[in-house]
């Protein structure tokens, strides 16, 4: 083997070894490129969504009164009471019994008609509505715990980062990362 070939081979081997050492040194000296995620907890907020709920209910109402002052009952009661009073006694007693029977019968007839009117009811179906709130949880962010080397940290993020968070060239977290399709 000639001397120049030997020198060339040695110089080539030295150059390759030096290049590999420099590449390894730059990778080792660069540090980690990702922070390791150790825990992700969703931050939830309660959302109230109002909605209207309606149902049909049966309602009992009093029928409209045609004779508010119960005149018909008073008149019929007075006539019946007067006739009954007229059957009692004789002379002035008969007249007094007739008047008392008419007054008592009129009052009784009035009250009987009043009671009948109060019991005269009808039922109808009515729709009644009210507002209820449906409660649900919405994720509004994430509390993320991470480590960079042996240093731990925590950050709030708007998305779940997965198992790692990329770092910039200064070793700081890159939090704003475009998602596919954005």
pLDDT digits (tens, 9 = 90+) for 124-144: 899 999 999 999 999 999 999
The tokens of 37 are what?
Answer: 């995620």
Structure-token pair, residue 94: 């008969």
**Residues 51, 177: contact at Cβ < 8 Å?**
no
Inter-CA distances, 8 with 14, 16, 21, 67, 76, Å: 10, 12, 20, 131, 143
Which residues lie below 8 Å from residue 118, measured CB to CB, with a gap of 6+?
62
Determine if the pTM surpasses 0.85: no
pLDDT at 10: 62
d(C-alpha 43, C-alpha 47), whole Å: 13
Taking only the tens place, the pLDDT of each residue in 2-30 is 777 666 666 666 666 666 655 555 555 45
Residues 117, 110: Cα–Cα separation, whole Å: 11
Percent of the chain surpassing pLDDT 70: 77
Q: What is the mean pLDDT of residues 42-64?
A: 91
């Amino acid at each position: 083997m000639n001397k120049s070939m030997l020198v060339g081979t040695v110089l080539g081997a030295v150059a390759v070894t030096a290049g590999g050492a420099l590449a390894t040194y730059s990778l080792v000296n660069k540090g980690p490129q990702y922070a390791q995620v150790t825990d992700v907890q969703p931050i939830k907020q309660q959302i109230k969504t109002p909605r209207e709920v309606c149902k049909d209910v049966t309602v009992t109402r009093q029928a409209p009164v045609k004779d508010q002052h119960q005149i018909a009952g008073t008149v019929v009661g007075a006539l019946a009471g007067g006739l009954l009073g007229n059957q009692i006694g004789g002379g002035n007693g008969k007249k007094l019994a007739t008047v008392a029977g008419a007054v008592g019968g009129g009052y009784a007839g009035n009250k009987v008609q009043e009671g009948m009117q109060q019991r005269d009811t009808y039922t109808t179906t009515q729709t009644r509505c009210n507002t209820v709130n449906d409660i649900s949880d919405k994720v509004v962010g994430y509390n993320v715990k991470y480590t960079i080397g042996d240093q731990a940290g925590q950050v709030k993020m708007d998305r779940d980062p997965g198992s790692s968070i990329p770092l910039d060239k200064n070793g700081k977290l890159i939090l704003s990362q475009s998602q596919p399709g954005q």
